Amino acid sequence: MKKDDASLVFVAHRIMEEQRAHRRYPLRCRIALRGNDQQLIYGETLDISSGGASVLVAHNIAKGTLFSLYLQLPARRVGATPDVVEARARVMYGAFSTGHDRWRLGIQFLDFGGKPLQMLEAEFQRYG
């Protein structure tokens, strides 16, 4: 990538960040995705907000695909069983990340609220 191309990517990323409705947090969580075929795809979050997440998975998933997301929150203390939050979600984009050697997906949470959202937002409090 040329220097000018890198500058354009940086500017595009900044514009996209400014358009987001929710603040992103660098929270790393294990995830599982289950689509209509009932197959589980495992991965992890890169960052997350109350409206969606950027996740890394081994397989690409088509834009617009709906699925159930299972998000394992960090354990509150050593030896504790971590909480798992479930949400319906949609793939908004997918691109192969050479730096991570996996697919990076942008996902949007759908109809996400109540106790699961409160649990996730409690984790955000750790980041100020």
Per-residue pLDDT of the chain (128 residues; tens, 9 = 90+): 444 444 444 444 454 545 567 899 999 999 999 988 889 999 999 999 999 999 999 999 999 999 999 999 988 788 889 999 999 999 999 999 999 999 999 999 998 889 999 999 988 888 76
Cα separation, 88 vs 14, in Å, equals 27
Q: How far apart are CA 95 and CA 76, in angstroms?
A: 33
Phi, psi of 127 (to 5 degrees): -100, 0
Domains of the chain, first to last: 23-127 (2.40.10.220)
